[in-house]
Chains A and B, each alone.
Chain A
């Protein structure tokens, strides 16, 4: 066994304008419980139904960062950068609309820019990434800057 894995796209394979759409994933109360318990993010907005009933959304909402964590997983399942991704450089996220458990999210991405870095063996690809619910409403708009390997000779 060596270090080789299925190889996704290298920097050279990526073209501005490339797009993807992920499969859906339904966010369950279990997801929320696991997330809040593990992160220690027990804000009553996410964990206290009696409190949440009296608030604007009238029920508990899904922690915003959980929606985004699941979105990252959904994108990863497309195996676009398997074995070629070196990590995230930056992420900007605007949350537009709250989400409730039972919502099913899909993620749409579009490559908007490619950038060189000061290291010649890697580059940065910048995607516009939108998280949508089952009604096609945008839950979050974001940008991801991903460090990707270049091809080796």
Chain B
């Protein structure tokens, strides 16, 4: 039976309900673990993947990657779910609903809550909220590196590790003191967990609003130099190189890298064997700082000058474009894309950062930085695939096996591919369909996105997490 017909059988399903039977026939399957993709069929029974069948020859005719695609459920290493402390912007319940809508079945929450997630009690609150939401999405969490994320004193890393965090970070603050970073890498390395750093030298970004370049100069916005990210990454790598001599298990993950310079440093560090991984966001791949001037071209289609190339179709200074790190010029976006292609970037992470309109319906300089990215991540990446800039298999890998490897066994999921007999974690999406991003269409509460009004390729039809229904397209 075709995927469409199989999905119809679920019409009456409730979120959280175990999938009794799901027959996906004649769809394009992508398995990032085995590396195999092609026409296939997949059967789920009582929440478990019962059978995966790859179709060959005549049977495979008429099935192509431009139609219905089935992938393992996506993994987001970096999402701000705002609860506890800022529930007006997002709650864990609405955040997980947004994740499911975006095809994510595993989400890692960031510890910049109020109170910060720097001791197991807060983690317990977060888990309780996830349970109460009834969502089957797997919610993991990072612990803070320092107490209160204040950057001065190590948090209870051991207790947090025992409680089950998947790593440590002070995001959205950098680990400013090199000595703290060094100690954290060593300590966490012995616990088998990575330090995740938001690489930013704040001395260079005080008051900064937009990437320090041509667009910011003309728009009169305070510049955010690429050097602020590059120098922080260089420092982090140097400290890591030092630490691994004593603690071979130390691991560093650099999140939301946005500059060509920083990605090149990671590329060389990996070639030299350093245990570093990194992720890029969908918005740093697809958008550029020209959007601040009113351009709405994808990064790979960007012209040379939004004031003369005709790409400025929207009003400038959209506060929804303010983000940390800032949107960069097309060359940096191209570097993020290239990093995904060659594997320098191990994963795509959304850095989902919702805000209420109080913080975003303001002048650009006062806008809270952040893009609600869980629901638009797939669409942005598929736009790159449609443009021939990124293979579909790489997108799936960057959203599943890539981040899965970084989670290193801390997820309930034993595999990030398709495994017969394992609970079903999968996403079914239709590449031949498109959807328009509107506040109503978004499940995220602080539905702030510069993509509102925009049509994106690919529509998520079904998300199954841990064998249970997470999202079904109406």
Q: Do A and B bind each other?
A: no
